[in-house]
Structure 1
Amino acid sequence: MRDRQASRAARRAREFEAFVAGAAGRLLHSATLFTAEAPDANPRARRLLTLALAHTYARWDRLHGEDPYECARQDLATRFAHEAWHHYGAFGRARPHPRSPLCALTPQERLVLVLRMYEGVAEEQVAALLGLPVERVHSLCDRATATVLHPAPAAVPRAVGAKVAPS
């Protein structure tokens, strides 16, 4: 009995290690796009990935034919949405890396854009995952795409407390 349990645990560990070896890079890239952090310094993205993989490992035996990548990606996206909502107030005040091509987007727009365009998730699935109407997902994706393709000119930074001359 003990040998069978040890064998099952070893097989589970090997399967999960193989999954992580194949999927962790793409999942980390998605997490980095969600957070809009610099690729070389992405502690939030790494933390999100670690938690998503831990959740996937905990569910490993109960996946029963489900795609483990889909499970990990859903958990990653849900954790990012939860973090952005609860820690930054309604997807608002997260500070992305200023040189990120996605820095002009809100966290919600980044989430939708990455899921739709990078991950190839259908609008209906994104809507169900985020609890939004399909039309809202569509408009968020359109707006995010337009912002990325046609960025507004960068505002000239001012010194803190500097007064602007009236025009």
Structure 2
Amino acid sequence: MRDRHASHGARRAREFEAFVAGAAGRLLHAATLLTAEAPDANPRARRLLALSLAHTYASWDRLHGEDPYDRARQYLAMRFAREVWHRYGVLARARRHPAGTLGALAPQERLVLVLRLYEGVAEEQAAALLGLPVDRIRTICARATTTLLHPPPAPARPVAAKATGAEAATP
């Protein structure tokens, strides 16, 4: 009995290691897009990845033919949404303004774009995952795409007032 349990654990570990070798890079990239952090310094993205992989490993035996990548991606998306919700209170309007192109988007917009465009998740699946109507997913995706294609102009910096000749002459 003990040998059978040990071989099951070894097989489980090998299967999971193979999964991580194939999926971790793509999941890390998705997490980096979600957090809008620079790829070289992304502790939040790496934390999201680690939590997602740990959750997937914990439920490995219960997958029963389900795609482990889908499970890891779902957990990654939901964990990101939950962290943003707890940090800012509202997922849709929270803006931390991280650097980079995706930093101009709200976290919910980034989440929908990553799911729809990077991961290729259907509108219906994204809506079910986020608990939103399909029309709302479509609207968020369109708004985010428009923002990326036509970014708002940068705010003008105030120009320092130049001293006039009379002001410069007075001691």
TM-score normalised over the length of structure 1? 0.91
- Say if 1:132 and 1:156 are closer, same or farther in 2 by CA, change over 3 A: same
| Aligned partners of 1:109 and 1:140 also within 8 Å | yes
Is the counterpart of residue 107 in structure 1 residue 112 in structure 2? no
Q: How many aligned residue pairs are there?
A: 158
Deviation at 1:96, TM superposition (A): 4.4
Whose Rg is larger?
2
| Aligned partners of 1:52 and 1:72 also within 8 Å | yes
Instruction: Give 5+ residue unaligned stretches, structure 1.
Output: 159-167
User: Counterparts of 1:34 and 1:106 in 2: how far apart (Å)?
Assistant: 10
Give the match for residue 82 of structure 1: 82
Give the match for residue 29 of structure 1: 29
User: Counterparts of 2:43 and 2:112 in 1: how far apart (Å)?
Assistant: 21
Is the counterpart of residue 116 in structure 1 residue 116 in structure 2? yes
User: Counterparts of 2:117 and 2:94 in 1: how far apart (Å)?
Assistant: 23
User: Counterparts of 1:157 and 1:51 in 2: how far apart (Å)?
Assistant: 41
Q: C-alpha deviations, 1:34-80, integer Å up to 9, x for none?
A: 11011001111111110010000000011010000000000000000
Deviation at 1:153, TM superposition (A): 1.5
Specify the code of the residue in structure 2 equivalent to 1:61. Answer: D
Instruction: Give 5+ residue unaligned stretches, structure 2.
Output: 159-171
Deviation at 1:87, TM superposition (A): 1.1
| Aligned partners of 2:123 and 2:138 also within 8 Å | yes
Aligned-residue Cα RMSD (Å) equals 1.4
- Say if 1:106 and 1:157 are closer, same or farther in 2 by CA, change over 3 A: farther
User: Counterparts of 1:42 and 1:154 in 2: how far apart (Å)?
Assistant: 25
Give the match for residue 98 of structure 2: 97
Give the match for residue 4 of structure 2: 4
Specify the code of the residue in structure 2 equivalent to 1:57. Answer: Y
User: Counterparts of 2:17 and 2:153 in 1: how far apart (Å)?
Assistant: 45
| Aligned partners of 1:35 and 1:96 also within 8 Å | no
- Say if 1:19 and 1:108 are closer, same or farther in 2 by CA, change over 3 A: same
Give the match for residue 54 of structure 1: 54
Give the match for residue 17 of structure 2: 17
Deviation at 1:93, TM superposition (A): 3.6
| Aligned partners of 1:37 and 1:96 also within 8 Å | no
What SS class does the counterpart of residue 102 from structure 1 fall into? helix
What percent identity do the matched residue pairs reach?
A: 73
**Residue correspondence of structure 1 range 134-149 to structure 2 within 5 A:** 134-149=134-149
User: Counterparts of 1:11 and 1:42 in 2: how far apart (Å)?
Assistant: 32
Deviation at 1:88, TM superposition (A): 1.6
